[in-house]
Chains A and B, each alone.
Chain A
Amino acid sequence: MADLRSDFVGIKSPNPFWLASAPPTDKEYNVVRAFQAGWGGVVWKTLGLDPHVVNVNGPRYGAIWGADRRLLGLNNIELITDRPLQTNLDEIKSVKRAWPDRAVVVSLMVPCEEVCWTEILKQVEDTGADGVELNFGCPHGMSERGMGSAVGQVPEYIEMVTRWCKQNTRMPVIVKLTPNITDVRYPARAAKAGGADAVSLINTVSSITSVDLDLMAPEPTIDGKGSHGGYCGPAVKPIALNMVAEIARDPETAGLPISGIGGVTTWRDAAEFMALGAGNVQVCTAAMTYGFRIVTEMIDGLSRWMDGKGYENTAAFTGLATPNVTDWQYLNLNYVAKARIDQDLCIKCGRCHIACEDTSHQAITAMKDGVRHFEVIDAECVACNLCVNVCPVDGCITMEKLPAGTVDPRTGRTIPAEYGNWTQHPNNPSAVAAE
């Protein structure tokens, strides 16, 4: 049985699945239920100074659905905790005492003045919590008050606040990053410069999920008006994975622990984040969609997969995919593939044909000898993979590498055995000849 125990910047938990700072971790009642269900840790719903903020009294969520109303993306306009600070502190203390083996990290967001941070850090330390997460990510409401992503979008502020915190507490400091920036490496570098023990990402993406065409207002609509919210759930996972990889492979931040967040729904999502360099993962939307029991599947799935692969602990596979993330210019242009359709699996829907015909390279037949037949024309196929992605049958279309030495019927070129990339390509004005 694989060992799922996790040690993230010195914070120990029985498994790497934490609940992200959000409604699931809003109060003792929820967190106790989460721990009973088996979650390894929680990042408590973000605390702020009293008087506590208030939330809207109308709808806070909007959503995007896939087939059968499967929730794919969730958008919210909720703020940080709307309960008195002391209530939260008391509950955190009580939970940590009752569940000493679970990670309890407290998310914080206070105004950009050192004294505010020193004050609250002291109070959090008194609860016995394992660490703090600085919420520089919330894209709505709080940012208009100079907090949340308003801080997270300015690297200098991130560095400054992180440094204040590091100087004023013995607890590990995790900096939560916003994706609402151009290049996530800058805030990550700033966090590192400020002394952060880790970064966690992503917080939610600024978004409007839909527009009510009768009211002519964005959803969720409150009294005829709507406001942009933060987007999360399965839809944001690709954005989050890329940002995690960017930080993991940036020489300036390489080795900085990362807590991966954004659309984690199953064990596989978690394994993907960790393969790209995340030390653990945090989950919000999946729990908000299905409840806390999903962690059972995550724990079981991850440990079976690790057993199958022979990974004894999570560190054994963390970051293994990071070196394989590279820049486009280093991809091997001498790797030539062609799409292949398995005629036994093909159900003849014709989607590959029409996709390739209308929008790509006219490389798939619709008819052969007068009968409906879908087959790749090697002389046209550029191996773009579109047909693979639109085919409704799993595994029906695959990409086959042409062996070196064969002629690509599309270009008439013999495929070289050696690696060759854009930096060396004759069409590249700044190409350097391969040695």
Chain B
Amino acid sequence: MTRGFEGADVKAGRLTSEQVAANFGDLHPPLDGHEAAVAADRCYFCHDAPCVTACPTGIDIPMFIRQIAAGNPDGAGKTIFDQNILGGMCARVCPTETLCEEACVREAAEGKPVEIGRLQRFATDHLMAESVHPYTPAAETGRRIAVVGAGPAGLACAHRLALHGHAVTLFDAKPKAGGLNEYGIAAYKTPGGFAQAEVDFVLDIGNIDVETGRMLGRDLSLDDLKRDYDAVFLSIGLAGVNALQSPGEDLVGVGDAVDFIADLRGAADPSALPVGRRVVVIGGGMTAIDAAVQSKLLGAEDVTIVYRRGQESMNASRFEQDLAQTRGVRIKHWARPVRVVADEDRRGVEFEYTRAGAGGLEGTGETFFVPADVVLKAIGQTLEAPDGPAVERGRIVVDAEYRTSVDGVWAGGDCVAAGEDLTVTAVAQGRDAAESIHRALTA
């Protein structure tokens, strides 16, 4: 739980629960049938469509949009799920502005792409509302596979393996499956308990046993898994967080943005969460933006993101940055924290201006102070690597088929060094690893 410095202004209930509920409503509200028809009509059904190339899971976008236009939303949903079983979550959380919608020819033509994300949501919502799961598993193969980590990568892998008739055990250290879909993604992107509904949808295929509260390294070992299963897939994400390495980091009042977000996602009534009056978030990625925006939506008065490089280097997309700024978050570039201060009369962070020097980022020596009641670090998560597979630059090493250095062990998602750290990338890797495992087991 977020706590401020001694004497700092941190409290719950800055806004009423109604205000908070309104603030955390859908960022991109669902399209109704007519809106979907109008949006679908804008698609040109491109040949070898650039949007498909830009989608990490390669969804046949022109086809599913045409199915919507032809009044076949369930068929459209199936087209999406064929490539991406978490197409529902991706429709909500993908930074489409840097993926499919950026590549859409209508973006090039008129700066207004086809609304692929919202159409995807329309189709997936429609099919998920049906009572029957759209897939039937192949005949049982008798093979057993352990999937460790029930985030997007693990869920996608488990589903594809189950589809091929394999028996999957899905382990996760946390009490609930879903990974960052459940604990990380901004609340306003996936309101209404969608993450768990989607987990249930994925598991509905059968052949998947879920064991939550089971942590690799604590309750399980890779050797045991290798012994008991025909194959292992590691999808453990990045469970650790980076340190600031500035004095004062350990002070009460300095916390991890991911924890703050996890608390928020877990809260029955977010308005009951304590929030600082003045919040400083350090970092430049999606996590920094989400922590800052959600602090603001909970009623914080002044929220500042401080990032050590320029705007173009921020990992958060332009859309996300604009979102933060329109929600009243201030973004300050080219500064790094020197010291967290918690004196009687002064609480906050002292920053030093930075610039791109010949040998990389360097401080200019000039400093400034940003007052804060709460400081949130969002400077990246780290891998907590299991013993065994080779690790390079903080990520598990894999080949093109997501095989690790250990025989019979595959890995994918944020824990490997391939592609961006996005939900959709994790899904693609989990799915492709499953295909590789399937080939290996049936060869």
Contact = CB atoms under 8 A, between A and B. Distances in A.
Interface of A: 67-69, 347-351, 353-354, 366, 372, 392-393
B45 interface: yes
Given A347-B106, A349-B47, A392-B44, 11 more contacts: A67-B42, A68-B41, A69-B37, A69-B38, A347-B108, A348-B105, A348-B108, A349-B49, A350-B46, A351-B45, A351-B47
B38 A349 contact: no
A249 B48 CA distance: 47
A351 B43 CA distance: 11
B358 interface: no
Closest 10 CB pairs of A and B: A350-B47, A354-B47, A67-B41, A347-B109, A347-B105, A349-B46, A349-B105, A349-B44, A347-B108, A68-B38
Interface in B51-88: none
B439 interface: no
Contact of B50 (A67, A348, A392, A393): A348
19 contacts: A68-B38, A68-B41, A69-B37, A69-B38, A347-B109, A348-B50, A348-B105, A348-B108, A349-B47, A349-B49, A349-B105, A350-B47, A350-B48, A351-B45, A351-B46, A351-B47, A366-B48, A392-B44, A392-B109
Contacts of B218: none
Nearest to B40: A67
Contacts of B393: none
B105 A69 contact: no
B314 to A, nearest CB: 29
Contacts of B108: 347-348
B34 interface: yes
Contacts of A350: 46-49
A392 B106 CA distance: 10
A393 B47 contact: no
Contacts of B34: 69
A174 B178 CA distance: 75
Contacts of A392: 44, 109
B38 A67 contact: yes
Interface in B130-152: none
Contacts of A353: 47
Contacts of B109: 347, 392-393
A347 B107 CA distance: 9
A347 B103 CA distance: 11
A67 B44 CA distance: 12
Contacts of A393: 109
Nearest to A391: B44
A146 to B, nearest CB: 41
Contact of B47 (A67, A68, A347, A366): A366
Contacts of B50: 348, 372
Interface of B: 34, 37-38, 41-42, 44-50, 105-106, 108-109
Contacts of A68: 38, 41
A351 B108 CA distance: 15
A112 to B, nearest CB: 46
Contacts of A349: 44, 46-47, 49, 105
A240 to B, nearest CB: 26
A42 to B, nearest CB: 34
Nearest to B45: A351
Given A69-B34, A372-B50, A351 B44 contact: yes
A392 B104 CA distance: 13
A131 to B, nearest CB: 44
A372 B41 CA distance: 24
Nearest to B34: A69
Contacts of B105: 347-349
A5 to B, nearest CB: 41
A350 B34 CA distance: 28
A68 B39 CA distance: 9
Nearest to A392: B44
A88 to B, nearest CB: 39
A99 B34 CA distance: 43
Contacts of A69: 34, 37-38
Nearest to A345: B109
A393 B106 CA distance: 10
Contacts of A366: 47-48
A349 B46 CA distance: 5
Contacts of B46: 349-351
A181 to B, nearest CB: 34
A9 to B, nearest CB: 44
Contacts of B49: 349-350
A377 B49 CA distance: 22
Residue from the set B34, B42, B44, B108 with the largest chain A CB neighbour count within 10 Å = B44
A393 B38 CA distance: 19
Contacts of A351: 44-47
A136 B45 CA distance: 44
Contacts of B44: 349, 351, 392
Nearest to A353: B47
A393 B47 CA distance: 15
Nearest to B47: A350
A233 B47 CA distance: 32
B229 to A, nearest CB: 43
A366 B50 CA distance: 12
A365 B21 CA distance: 53
Nearest to A350: B47
A392 B41 CA distance: 12
Contacts of A347: 105-106, 108-109
A237 to B, nearest CB: 21
B112 to A, nearest CB: 12
B148 to A, nearest CB: 40
A147 B251 CA distance: 95
Contacts of B38: 67-69
A353 B50 CA distance: 14
Contacts of A372: 48, 50
A353 B47 CA distance: 8
A67 B49 CA distance: 21
Contacts of B47: 349-351, 353-354, 366
A7 to B, nearest CB: 44
Nearest to A390: B44
Contacts of B45: 351
B276 to A, nearest CB: 47
A281 B50 CA distance: 46
Contacts of A67: 38, 41-42
A347 B106 CA distance: 8
A54 B122 CA distance: 45
B135 to A, nearest CB: 27
B231 to A, nearest CB: 37
Nearest to B38: A68
Nearest to B107: A347
Nearest to A357: B47
Contacts of A348: 50, 105, 108
A304 B368 CA distance: 65
Residue from the set B34, B38, B42, B45 with the largest chain A CB neighbour count within 10 Å = B45
B76 to A, nearest CB: 18
A358 to B, nearest CB: 9
